[in-house]
Every structure is written in C-alpha cells, then in structure tokens.
Amino acid sequence: MSKPEEPHNPLRVIINLESVTPDSSLWASYLDASVLYITQQWPRMLHDHSFDSFRKGYDLDLRRRYEEGGRYLFFFFLESETKHRIGFVNLYTTIQPSIQGPDPRPCLNIAEFTIDRPYRRKGIGRSCVEVIRSKAVELGCRSLVAEVDSDLPQAIAFWTSTMGPAVHTSERHRFQIDL
C-alpha cells in the first residue's frame, strides 16, 4: 500500500533577513519604506514638515542611531523561486534594569515592523516575528519587546496574537517575550 501524498501547503514559507546599513545599496530603499510607513501610521509627523524634509531628517537620525550601536535594520524576504521583499524591521537593544533586575543581557526592541499588504493575514507576519526572535537569541538578548500606540487596534491585535497579552498598557501597549 502506498503512502498518501502530502498535501501542498502554500503557507509554508521561509523568511530571510537581509541586513541594511547606511553604506549598503539597500539604504535608500529601506529609508523610503520606513518614511512611508511612519508617515502613513502617524500622519502628524508631517504636520510641520514636507515629506522630503521629514525624509532628510529621518535619514540623519537613523544614521546617527545606527552609528551609536545596537541598531539592526533588516528587510524581510520571502524565499521562493525569486526573492520577494515583503516588509522590514528596525530593531535596537537596551539594558533595562528596572524591568530586568540584575540580568545584564539586553532586550531586543522592535521600533518599526511592517509586512506589505499582499502578505498580511497569511501567517507570514508571525513567521517574521519568529525570525526576529531567533535573531534576539543569536544576539544574546534576554527578551523581545514591542510597544504599540493605543490608537492602533490592528497592530495591538497582531502583537497580542503573536506575543500574548500586553504586559503594560497606557498610551502604549508593551508586549514582551522572555527568551
């Protein structure tokens, strides 16, 4: 008797990270994606700025933060016959004694995270968070943290489904996974 063929699972995905640095050829694309994401999520950021002036200021700010150390910028790629860029993440490490107690290992914080619309609600975002979690372990971090503004209910729902209930709520919801 032959073994039944395994069904094709179109949602079985492999997510790859590609590091972005200020010197890399991906910097301008990363900056454009970041600025578009920020200005769509928080349009008030453009209140006193044109899009171009905000982009220029954010470029300088992100370069400075990167050069200070502990900042990790990545594009997510969906591995298939060809590589498809599906989103990005901006991560940074902090030591937070008031939260961590005596544990000297850093927390890996998610500053910005987005998955392009065609790839949402397919489990891909959750897979990307697992890739970030693996990166946090690789970096020797003790926890993974995401904070979300209270006025972003879809983001709160995503992080709750991915990381569990918020450990702190007020103007921002704080989600944390201990590693």
Residue 47 burial class via C-beta count within 10 angstroms: exposed 0-12, middle 13-18, buried 19 and up? exposed
- 3 confidence band (pLDDT: 50, 70, 90): very low
C-alpha–C-alpha distance, residues 132 and 134, integer Å:
5
pLDDT over threshold 90, residue 83: no
Q: What is the value of pTM for the model shown?
A: 0.84
- 14 confidence band (pLDDT: 50, 70, 90): confident
Return the pLDDT at 113. Answer: 95
Q: Where are the beta strands (DSSP E) in 31-106?
A: 71-78, 84-94
pLDDT over threshold 70, residue 101: no
Return the pLDDT at 31. Answer: 96
- 84 confidence band (pLDDT: 50, 70, 90): confident
Looking at every residue in the chain, the average pLDDT score rounds to 86
pLDDT over threshold 90, residue 41: no
> Domains plus CATH for the chain?
15-178 (3.40.630.30)
